[in-house]
Every structure is written in structure tokens, then in C-alpha cells.
Homo-oligomer: A and B are copies of this chain.
Amino acid sequence: MNETIKLQLAHKTVRKFKEEKIQEEDINTLLEVCNRTATSTGMQQYSIIRIKDKSKKEKLTEIATQGYLENCPELFVFIVDVFRNKKIAEELGFKGDTYKDMDRFFQGFTDASLAAQNMTIALESMGMGAVYFGSILNDNEEVCNILKLPELTFPVFAVGFGYPDQEPQIKPRMDMKLKVFEDEYKVFENYLEEVKEYDEEMTHYYDTRANGQRSDTFSKQVLKRFEDINEKRRNVMKVIEKQGFKIK
């Protein structure tokens, strides 16, 4: 097994970092890795907002309700960005409005996600660790305000990173046989039966976050997630529309 795959199979989320700053040279390498990532039809419809301002970090922490966000030495917000290409097209005389299509939004969403994951592998290969914050979408409209996002842009998630000050356990995952199918989707008879072993495994998993507390089964976590309603998150399409995309 090669070093890259060893690294990937050892991935875990890091939520506690040393105060050690990341060298600008390393940041530049990470940005180069982002830039080299595959991008839909070459259009590069994503951008990154690097958060340095303390008060902005505080605001994002409040939104995410995850206190450790504030202590990430680096915090990059990845965004869908169709704005830049719209400007380019308009400067070339384009008069249409196809840049509003949700199809382009999804291209940008994909671009941002691929670049972020590529960056995560790169920084892990340099001895750093990372945490994804989907939780900044708890108030996606406010994130647009805080980052002064223009029309045709939208936050995807943030990635916090730095040198780890903890060694989390590897978190168990559901067997791939429930997630990989041949030629067509496979529906199982009884899902609780299928995830039984995984549920069991999860109860024995001690997340370092929880000070050794036992975890719920995966199934119960799923249930909790569906019961947990955040009106701002579930109404995400309204904000996407407000940002100038045509959702119908």
C-alpha cells in the first residue's frame, strides 16, 4: 500500500489544534493543489474566502455552534462562484441570463467540494489535520452577509485546519456493501437488520469529543438528525434564490 492511500485510510477529523501557525509557503502549496483539482468543463466556478478577521471568526462560530471553529489556525470558506464568469461574459457583451441556471450552481458546488477534499488530503500529507464545517449553513443567509458574497455565489462549507493537538480514534463507517451497487440501485428488505453490526460498532466508538462517552447507534443518530429541524437550513433554496439563481 502506498503512502497516499495509507494516509487516506487513516483519515479522521481533527477538532483541536496546536497554536502553531501555518507557513505561508505551505498555504500557497495548498492553494496550488486546489487550483489543480478537476473542475466542471474547466470553468473553475468556486472561490475561497480565507478568514483572518477575529470578529468574523466569532460570528461564524456562533452560527456553527461549534466552539472549536474559533480556534482553528486557518479557516477557509469554500463558495460556489458563478459571479466571476458572469462578469467575464458580460464584459464580452453577453446579454443572456443562463448564469442563473441551477445547473451552473451545481457545477460550482462540485468544483468547491472537489478542491476542498484535494486540499484536505494535501494538508494531511503535510502532517496537519482538518475539520469540515457544514454547520456554517445553519444560517447561510448571514454567512453571505458576513463574507459580503455577491450575487451568484453561495457558501458550501468551511474547512478549518492546522497541526493536530489530539489523536482522535478512527470513526467506524457503514459497510460499503450498503452503498455500492452494480448497474442499478439496490433496495434492501430491512435496513435496521443490514446496519445492525454497524450500529453495534458505533455504540463502542468513543469519540474524543465526547470525553469517552458512549455513542448512539448510527440508526438513532439518523432519527435524531431527521427530528432536528433548523428552519434556516431547510429553507436553503430561498437564500440561493436571493443570491440570484433561478430555482424554478
The interface of chain A, by Cβ under 8 A from chain B, is 1-5, 7-11, 13, 29, 31-44, 46-53, 56, 79, 81, 84-89, 91-92, 94, 96, 98-99, 101-103, 106-107, 109-110, 113-114, 116-118, 120-122, 125-126, 132, 134, 137, 146-150, 153, 156-157, 170-171, 173-174, 176, 178-185, 187-188, 190-192, 195, 218-223, 225-227, 229-230, 233-234, 236-238, 247-248
Contacts and interface: CB of A to CB of B under 8 A. Distances in A.
Nearest to A76: B180
Contact of A110 (B79, B156, B171, B225): B156
A103 B234 contact: yes
Given A117-B113, A180-B50, A227 B94 contact: yes
B248 A178 contact: no
Given A53-B183, A126-B2, A134 B153 contact: no
B181 A40 contact: no
